[in-house]
A and B are shown apart, each in its own frame.
Chain A
Amino acid sequence: MSDLVPEPRQKPVVPMKPVSINSNLLGYIGIDTIIEQMRKKTMKTGFDFNIMVVGQSGLGKSTLVNTLFKSQVSRKSSGWSREEKIPKTVEIKAIGHVIEEGGVKMKLTVIDTPGFGDQINNENCWEPIEKYINEQYEKFLKEEVNIARKKRIPDTRVHCCLYFISPTGHSLRPLDLEFMKHLSKVVNIIPVIAKADTMTLEEKIEFKQRVRKELEVNGIEFYPQKEFDEDLEDKTENDKIRQESMPFAVVGSDKEYQVNGKRVLGRKTPWGIIEVENLNHCEFALLRDFVIRTHLQDLKEVTHNIHYETYRAKRLNDNGGLPPMTVETEENHESNL
Chain B
Amino acid sequence: MLGESMLSVFLCFPLQNDDLRNLSLSGHVGFDSLPDQLVNKSTSQGFCFNILCVGETGIGKSTLMDTLFNTTFESEPATHNEPGVRLKARSYELQESNVRLKLTIVDTVGFGDQINKDDSYKPIVEYIDAQFEAYLQEELKIKRSLFNYHDTRIHACLYFIAPTGHSLKSLDLVTMKKLDSKVNIIPIIAKADTIAKNELHKFKSKIMSELVSNGVQIYQFPTDEETVAEINATMSVHLPFAVVGSTEEVKIGNKMAKARQYPWGVVQVENENHCDFVKLREMLIRVNMEDLREQTHTRHYELYRRCKLEEMGFKDTDPDSKPFSLQETYEAKRNEFLGELQKKEEEMRQMFVMRVKEKEAELKEAEKDLHEKFDLLKRTHQEEKKKVEDKKKELEEELSNFQKKKAAAQLLQSQAQQAGSQQTKKDKDKKNVRCAVEPKK
Tell me the A residues contacting B by CB distance below 8 Å: 1-4, 6, 9-24, 26-35, 37-49, 68-73, 95-107, 142, 145-155, 230-231, 288-289, 292-298, 300-301, 304-305, 309, 312-313, 316-317, 319-323, 325-326, 328-329, 332-334
Contact = CB atoms under 8 A, between A and B. Distances in A.
Interface string B84-118: 00011111111111110110101000000000000
A131 B290 CA distance: 38
Contacts of A28: 70, 96
A322 B140 contact: yes
Contacts of B181: none
B71 A107 contact: no
B409 to A, nearest CB: 102
A23 B70 CA distance: 7
Contacts of B326: 145-147, 322
Contact of B291 (A41, A49, A142, A152): A41
Contacts of A298: 37, 41
A333 B291 contact: no
Nearest to A157: B9
Contact of B25 (A11, A101, A334): A101
Contacts of B36: 39
A18 B92 contact: yes
Given A12-B130, A16-B90, A32-B97, A152 B12 contact: yes
A96 to B, nearest CB: 4
Contacts of B340: 1
B284 to A, nearest CB: 9
B15 A46 contact: yes
A313 B142 contact: yes
B314 interface: yes
B316 A147 contact: yes
Given A10-B133, A39-B35, A101-B28, A23 B142 contact: no
Contacts of A20: 92-93, 95
Contacts of B236: none
Contacts of A97: 20-23
Given A15-B90, A31-B96, A38-B39, A329 B141 contact: yes
Interface in B302-317: 302, 305-306, 309-310, 312-316
A17 to B, nearest CB: 8
Of the candidates A29, A46, A49, the one having the most CB atoms from chain B within 10 angstroms of its own CB is A29
Contacts of B8: 151-153
B312 A98 contact: no
B219 interface: no
Contacts of A105: 15
Contacts of A289: 30
A319 B142 CA distance: 11
Nearest to A47: B34
Given A26-B71, A68-B29, A313-B143, A147 B310 contact: yes
Contacts of B305: 147, 149
Given A29-B96, A37-B290, A71-B24, A293 B41 contact: no
A296 B227 contact: no
A10 B44 CA distance: 30
Interface in B1-37: 3, 5-13, 15, 17, 19-37
B32 A102 contact: yes
B206 interface: no
Contacts of B286: 30, 33
B281 interface: yes
A2 B333 contact: yes
Interface in B46-79: 47, 68-71, 73-74
Nearest to B316: A147
A13 B127 contact: yes
B32 A103 contact: yes
A146 B44 CA distance: 32
Given A107-B20, A155-B12, A329-B142, 6 more contacts: A3-B313, A32-B98, A34-B47, A45-B11, A102-B32, A147-B316
Of the candidates B12, B93, B101, B143, the one having the most CB atoms from chain A within 10 angstroms of its own CB is B12
Nearest to B68: A29
Contacts of A334: 142-143
A176 to B, nearest CB: 28
Contacts of B302: 148-149
A42 B127 contact: no
A96 B37 contact: no
